[in-house]
Structure 1
Amino acid sequence: MSSMSATGTSKPGLILWTEPHRAAIAKRVIEMLDPAPQLLAVGGPRGSSVPELAKALDVPFDDDLRKLLVDYNAAYLLAATSQPIPAEDVLTAVAQDVTVLSLEPFAGQLDEWVSLESQVLGVIENPAPNAVGTRLVRMPIFTQSPGFLAATDPFELLGDQRVIGFESSGVHESASLFARLYDAWATVLRFIDVPETIDASLVGPLAELPEQLPFITGIMSAHARLSDQASVIIQVSDRSGCNHRMLHVIGAEAELRVTNTGYDLRHPAGDVIDHADDSGEVIEDAGLIAHQWERLLQQDADGAAGGGVVMSPSQADILACCLTCLLSARTGQPESPRRVIEMG
């Protein structure tokens, strides 16, 4: 196999690992990328529609991800699965100098994440402080959307933040409920410390609530209390036909609404302070993934440190808040993220 590099004239190589119900969105992402990596191979379950996808794209197919990673000199692995990628496959990818792009969080339990993070650091030679976050990238994250990136300056004008709200909805084929909940806390925790308590509920098609985050589905609502009397309100759903994400922050000096495509900043009296055009156009998740990936490709080509990956807050804190939401939904009582962290 010829070597593919993220720099120079050659295109970086890509391996696509997908499940049948995510194959369409993965194919759409690849078609939208500009510049596009060179697709080297497609993998997934044998006996499904994935081999037909590989045939349609005129690339080899295999149902062994480790074999694909070893056989092909790829720069990126796009994992379009509904469950976290097995740790051994993640480590194989990192050892092959592959950046893993995943539509799902990389772990569903704190101990799983701590173990994976440690092992990834052990595989990377002379790891930088950002090493794990630049090699394991979840997509699409709200903090890399066009609207959020445009709203960097307005955050400084809010004053003390009193209420932070986050909404995310869409179909399960695009993003699971766990992925949307993870994205919500990854966004909210950029502005606050870990909450004192979280009171959450989960409604939908499940007769019994699962014990593990990758298996949740439906609509989750959560209310979190902070030590300084501020609060957080989150609503996420993987059972909605409308693809939508919005951050809403009410501060002492201003009010800010941020969507995937723009933002609106106003005085408490209603006067517009600043805004970025938001046509109301719905951007499909494939478009959001492609936008984030194009920024990553460009920064990799330019040799920019960090690859555009937002490293704050810690992945453990994000996961702890997600776990606390599920625990609260199961117990019917407010629960403490810090206690979840202590329990590990």
Structure 2
Amino acid sequence: MTLETKKSVFVELGKFLSQFSEGASARKSDVLYNDIFFDDFENLIHLSQSHNGWYTPEQVYFSIQSWAEALTEENINKWLSVYTIDENNDNSKTVALILAGNIPLVGFHDFLSVLITGYKALIKTSSNDQHLLPFLAKYLIAVDENFKDKITFVDGKLENFDAVIATGSNNTARYFEYYFKDKPSIIRKNRNSTAVLTGIETTQELENLGEDIFRYFGLGCRNVSKLYVPKDYSFDAFFQAMFKYQDVIHYEKYANNYDYNKAVFLMSNFKLLDNGFLTIKEDSSYASPISSVFYEYYENLEELKERLKNDSEQIQCIVSSNLTPNSIAFGETQKPQLWDYADNVDTITFLLTTK
């Protein structure tokens, strides 16, 4: 398969995904193989919550739409324009992918990167997300059957591969690093995202920040779990803006986490601020439990920038009004571009330089 062929197949996948949105899914006449895949995918979306209680239709539709927006000819060309990829590269090497399952299709970028560079993908999905990616793989194969020999899903032990990309917790990362010590690898650990506030944010900016906090119920590494605020910061405007997301408490799994984590904090005599569906607690850690956000005061922005730089291996995204280098605008953390790499590790460069 030529590079241009592979690009075109993923553009077709983007067109297919673009048909699906909450309450407004609609067939488009120019999309390939809708007669085979449209109804089944719509059904799968609505079944996803039975496979994983966190995968509500709203969250799955959001993920699908994000990928539909990413997989355009313009975006794919822009993404790959900075690399030298052999136009006819049909590499016989196999890359093992060990995928996370915290949010829907979280491993899709690795899957895309391996296939677009001509490698074979040997995929071990998370037990929390076993259905969405295999379905999309079937669609790719329908569009171009040459992908059939490029995609393999495995349930058991991974064998016969040349490199590995694995995503997990800090604990599983230690296992991965030992087990795959003789293979070229990208091993991803826990990361969290943070926001730097000044106290002069607009209501719209704070409401957008709520999207960064609550999207996917806060389960993603790109979700904001920690706030940095100036001394004497008033959380009144913050809580008023968060009110927009109050319906999150109606999801049983989220509500159970809220009740449990709040109880643990109170039993430990921690000082909390609480609005009935979100607790915020002063804490130096980056990783806060579901339904809570940690905060920390800062006095000097330059000193804070230096600290964030030193802690970069713990941080996925920083949200602010351009207060830090490479900061992300409020509300945009869960809309990464194809060229926004997890942990700032360039997956395409890794693949192209793997021997």
Could you say which TM-score interval applies, normalised by the shorter chain?
Answer: 0.3 to 0.5
Mark the structure with the bigger radius of gyration.
Answer: 2
Q: Which has the higher contact order (CA 8 A, sep 6+)?
A: 1
| TM-score, length-scaled by structure 2 | 0.35
| TM-score, length-scaled by structure 1 | 0.36
* Higher strand proportion (structure 1 or 2): 1
